[in-house]
Structure 1
Amino acid sequence: MVHKTLCFGLLGILFAYYVYLPMPENIEEHWKIRIADAVTKMISLVATLFENIGLMKYEELFFTLSTCFLTKQVSDDNITVIDTDFSNIPVRLYLPKRKSERHRRAIIFFHGGAFVLGSCKMFFYDFLNRWTANKLDAVVVGVDYRLAPQYPFPIALEDCVSVVKFFLQDKIFTKYGVDPTRICISGDSSGGTLSAAVTHLLQDDPEFKDKIKAQALIYPCLQIIDTLTPSYREYEHGPLLPKEVAINLASLYLTKDKELPRAALRNEHMPQDSRHLFKFVNWSVFLPEKYKKNHVYTEPILGKLNASYPALVDSRVSPLLASDSKLQSLPLTYILTCEHDLFRDDGIIYATRIRNAGVQVTHEHIEEGIHGALSFTTAPLFLNLGFRIRDKYISWLEKNL
């Protein structure tokens, strides 16, 4: 009993410490975000402790907690919700009930979760996709791709490509009343990574080229080449997504070897022959001056890892590694970035590069934004920021799809 009391007391002290860590001044509803941020840091601390004592792997605690947010398929007065599979990949379909005078647009949505967590069936994604279907009178497909580390790269990407190709069939368009000229691929965070990678791959496929009208990326992670961009430095400790948590989880998409995340945290993870790729993600060239501040650009340190990870130089993992000629073929693009986010600079660089390549792009930047805000539009935690991001996303789709 004494040991339990001491443990709870220590956890209480740590939670209070995390709650009172410095927070960017312009964040709205900062107490809500302080609490959510403290919870994330506490989970990471406990997960590290559990792994060190051999109780469970670091990611298993995050995964176990994420399953608590799963929902069953529930239709309502406006939307029919169906759990099925496309090409043997589980999907959740949202089909408007009201009659439509013309074929509907369609959105294929890939959820976030660092490639190791999450599901389109989590309540906040279910709410988002249901809302999208209802507001836009659209068919929405939420994709439950397989997760790392059990299914490492490129399995998640292959699942997403399989679902999109299955959906892009005339018989599917007819079955669900979809207009084949109004298809959008979208996703948030690592789902944004997958959205960009899928779009790139389809544009390279003669059979599917130009069948996607738009891609919509919400605070996407688009490169793992440089973990010392200004946003990585400024928001190393969050809010909500600390650098260590992001790298520890996302590295599992590539390998279970703990040496990779340790090296990535030091920006010493890239192989010796990768210097030619740095030009694609060089923030000193692509970022506006306001984001460079007083930071000095230094290249990642090469050749520190003994093991070889080919995926580190693969544009399917880091869509920013695509050449300018490949970027030119991209469809209409929407990118939303948040100021207080590790991945802020990824989205800004991507928007700059594809605009320079001649692609029509809408880039919306939320000055008081944080990563993951879109997940806080349902109980138990509501953020006005989450609603604003959702509404911006829906508004763009309504006008452009």
Structure 2
Amino acid sequence: MGFKALCLGIFCVIFISHIYTPLPVNIEETWKVMALDTIVKTCTFMATCFENIGIMQYEEFISMIFHLDYTQPQSDEYVTVMDTEFLDIPVRLYLPKRKSETARRAVIYVHGGAFCFGSFRQTAFDFLNRWTAKKLDAVVVAVDYRLAPQHHFPAQFEDVLTVVKFFLQPKILSKYRVDPTRICISGDSSGGALAAAVTQQVQNDPGIKHKIKMQALLYPALQAIESYLPSHRENEHGIILTRETAIKLISLYFTKDEALPKAIRRNQYMPLESKHLFKFVNWSILLPEKYRKDHIYTEPILGQASFSLPALMDSRASPLLAKDSQLQKLPLTYLLTCQHDLIRDDGLMYVSRLRNVGVQVAHDHIENGIHGALSYMTSPFYLHLGLKIRDKYISWLDKNL
């Protein structure tokens, strides 16, 4: 019995040391953040173990966890909520009940989840979209796109673009009494990447009559060609999202080939013909000096991969790779970044690139922010940080949309 207890104790110490992440001194609600981080990393650890011993795939286990948080559409005294489809793609509509003499604003929201997980059915996203509809008296359209690895890129992009183009039709805008000049596309994390890519497509497509008035990108993931930015180094073992987890999930977005994550870990996975794209993610130029710190920029090593994945060079997957001529047509932009976030620098570089071509950008940087904070706005794990980000986002929309 004593030997078994000793073994259990050793295992617990090893396990805790494996998942424990020291928190930055400016993090608020320390114990709550620590508990959330432990839960997330424990689930990740279990998913990896199950995959390694052949019980189920990593993504299958994580998806099971996400499904526990799904909600049904429930209307209230302020908003009618319904699930429907736009051209066979699931959407959840939030329609204000208050009578309006004029056409309403509209927000199309794209949820995060690393392209592999999540849904508009998640409690936090349902709460956010319901709050948006109520506070702005706006029609909100939440999109459920196909997920990896069952569906690789560009399926996610195509689904969101299809919904947006369908919604922008004059007859659909008229049906929901939406003002075609007051439409915003929003998204968080991977949803921010999809929102940014779709906005680029819509604004540069002469065949689409109605354009987007603004885009709102909340701690977005905007590129997949450089895997060792300063924020990657500083948050390699970070809160909620680690470098290893990000590599695992971004790889599943493109392929099931295990050669890709191995190459990304070495940051030696891009082909020779991608060299011209690295000027768009050159952090030594595009990052503000305070975020470069003492990090040293080195040229990427190209042409080492044993596979060919042209999708890695596609701006629909990495909106940061869009040419200046494409960016110039983008609308008013709100972009929020978090200091303690693995993908912080994607957003910071996009702010620089948009401003360099004359796009008007409002940028909020949350010094004590962590990735995925919007997912923790509801009981039992709500963070004041998530509510703070929500309020900044809603306030900006209310003033500008």
Shorter-chain-normalised TM-score: which range?
A: over 0.9
Cα distance in 1 between the residues matched to 2:119 and 2:7: 32
Determine if contact 1:328/1:359 at 8 Å carries over to the other structure: yes
Partner Cα separation in structure 2 for residue 149 and residue 126 of structure 1: 24
**Mapping of 1:324-363 within 5 angstroms?**
324-363=324-363
Cα distance between partner residues in 2 of 1:72 and 1:320: 35
For the 8 Å contact 2:271–2:303, the answer to whether it is kept is: yes
CA shift in 2, pair 1:133/1:266, >3 Å: same
Q: Which residue of 2 aligns with 1:206?
A: 206
Q: Aligned with 1:388: secondary structure?
A: helix
Query: Residue 87 of structure 2 aligns to which amino acid in structure 1?
Result: S
**What residue in structure 1 maps to residue 291 of structure 2?**
291
Residue deviations 1:23-47, cap 9 Å, x none?
A: 1111111111111111222122211
Q: Is the 8 A contact 1:224 1:312 kept in 2?
A: yes
1:178 paired with 2:178, answer: yes
* 2:88 maps to amino acid: N
Deviation at 1:246, TM superposition (A): 1.3
- Aligned partners of 1:155, 1:139: CA distance in 2, in Å? 25
Distance 1:87 1:6 in 2: 59
Question: 1: CA distance between counterparts of 2:6 and 2:91?
Answer: 45
Distance in 2 of aligned mates of 1:90 and 1:327: 29
Tell me how far 1:273 sits from its aligned partner: 1.6
Q: Which amino acid aligns with 1:118?
A: G
- Shift of the alpha carbon at 1:299? 2.3
Residue 300 in structure 1 maps to residue 300 in structure 2? yes
Q: Which residue of 2 aligns with 1:24?
A: 24
| 2:23 is the alignment partner of 1:45 | no
The alignment-based identity, stated in percent, is 62
Deviation by residue 1:37-88 (Cα, 9 ceiling, x = unmatched): 1122212221111111111111111111111110001000101001000011
The structural deviation recorded for 1:10 is 6.5
Q: What's 2:86 paired with?
A: 86
Equivalenced residue count is 401
C-alpha displacement of 1:382: 1.3
**Which residue matches 1:263?**
263
| Runs of 4 or more consecutive aligned structure 1 residues displaced over 4 Å after TM superposition | 1-12
- Give secondary structure in 1 for the equivalent of 2:179: strand
Distance 2:339 2:11 in 1: 30
Whether contact under 8 Å (2:220, 2:347) holds in the other structure is yes
Q: Which residue of 1 aligns with 2:400?
A: 400
Q: CA deviation at 1:177?
A: 1.1
Structure 2: distance between partners of 1:171 and 1:8: 64
Counterpart amino acid of residue 258 in structure 1: E
Pairs within 5 Å for 1:2-401: 12-14=12-14, 16-17=16-17, 20-208=20-208, 211-401=211-401
Change (3 A) 1:322 1:6: farther
Q: 1:307 Cα deviation (Å)?
A: 0.8
CA distance in 2, matches of 1:53, 1:2: 28
TM-score by length of 2: 0.96
Cα distance in structure 2, aligned partners of 1:136 and 1:336: 19
* 32-41 or 121-130: bigger deviation: 32-41
Q: Aligned pair in 2 of structure 1 residues 11, 69: CA closer, same or farther (>3 Å)?
A: farther
**Residue 204 of structure 1, CA deviation:** 2.0
In 1, are the aligned partners of 2:108 and 2:184 still within 8 Å (CA)?
yes
Most deviating of 266-275 and 211-220: 266-275
Shift of 1:208: 1.8
* Alpha-carbon distance change, 53 to 181 in structure 1, aligned in 2, over 3 angstroms: same
Does 119-128 or 16-25 show the bigger shift?
16-25
- CA distance in 2 between counterparts of 1:163 and 1:319 reads 19
User: Matched residues in 2 for 1:80 and 1:4: separation?
Assistant: 57
Distance in 1 (CA, whole Å) between partners of 2:398 and 2:318 is 29
Q: Is the 8 A contact 2:21 2:238 kept in 1?
A: no
Q: In 2, distance between residues paired with 1:361 and 1:116?
A: 29
Q: How many Å apart are 1:259 and its aligned residue?
A: 1.3
8 Å Cα contact 2:351/2:363 also seen in 1: yes
Query: Structure 1 CA distance, aligned partners of 2:19 and 2:255?
Result: 33
More deviation, 296-305/324-333: 296-305
Q: Secondary structure at the match of 1:377?
A: coil
Gaps of 5+ in 1: none
Deviation at 1:21, TM superposition (A): 3.0
| 1:95-122 alpha-carbon deviations (Å, 9 max, x no partner) | 0001012111000000000100000111
Task: Check 1:12–1:126 CA distance in 2 against 1; reply closer, same or farther (3 A cut).
Answer: farther
Name the aligned partner's letter for residue 386 of structure 1. G
Letter matched to residue 362 of structure 2:
T
245-254 or 131-140, larger mean C-alpha shift: 245-254
Counterparts of 1:353 and 1:209 in 2: how far apart (Å)? 26
Measured against aligned partners, the alpha-carbon deviations of 1:277-315 in whole angstroms (never above 9, x if no partner) come to 100000000111110000000122212211100011110
> Are the equivalent residues in 2 in contact too, given 1:106–1:139 (CA < 8 A)?
yes
